[in-house]
Amino acid sequence: MKKHVWRPLWVVVVLVVIILLARWVYVPADFGVQDRGYTFGYHRLGNEKEWQAQTPRYQGNNYCADCHEEQTARLAGGSHLDFPCENCHSAAGEHPTKPEKLAIDRSRALCLRCHVKLFMPSSGRNTIPGIDPERHNGTGDCVDCHNPHKPNLEEM
């Protein structure tokens, strides 16, 4: 073969060798698909124990219902039933066991995360009642007129 073919070929071979050496140095030995196959994708086997030791931040509605039976019962027939408490009240993993008084976000911005009217198709997001934030009580907080634990009622 001619020289103009061999030179680029050697450059490619050298680059592949450099990449393989870098992978051998930087990728941990326990990284791969492991014995469960591709179900869980590539991960580091030693990392599983680290993640299992982590306390979960989000606990779910059952965790909240243990202490907040009254609020859970109020939501049982409401339109917020399908939404986790933690969507509005933050992650329960950092919730103290006997709190003095929890700071609850009652800001308009929190409600508008879900209730801004969308004018385009989405994955079911249009089924949530939306408002035009400019025209609907543009200055006050939503909780001044609406009770989020009784969302079907217009006023508290």
Model pLDDT for residues 90-111, shown as the tens digit of each residue: 777 767 666 655 567 778 888 8
Q: Is the pLDDT of residue 120 over 50?
A: yes
- Domain ranges (residues) in the chain: 3-33+43-53, 59-99, 105-156
Top-confidence residue, 123 or 57: 57
Task: Return all residues near 144 (Cβ < 8 A) that are at least 6 apart.
Answer: 137
pLDDT digits (tens, 9 = 90+) for 64-92: 888 888 877 777 766 776 778 877 777 77
Cβ–Cβ < 8 Å for 152, 79: yes
Q: Which amino acid is at 32?
A: G
How does pLDDT run across 136-149, given as a tens digit for each residue?
A: 877 778 888 887 77
User: pTM value?
Assistant: 0.53
Instruction: Please name the residues in contact with 111: beta carbons below 8 A apart, sequence gap of 6 or more.
Output: 142, 143, 146, 148
Q: Which residues contact 87 (CB under 8 A, 6 or more apart)?
A: 114
Residues 6 or more apart whose Cβ sits within 8 Å of residue 68: 85
Q: Which residues contact 86 (CB under 8 A, 6 or more apart)?
A: 58, 59, 60, 64, 92
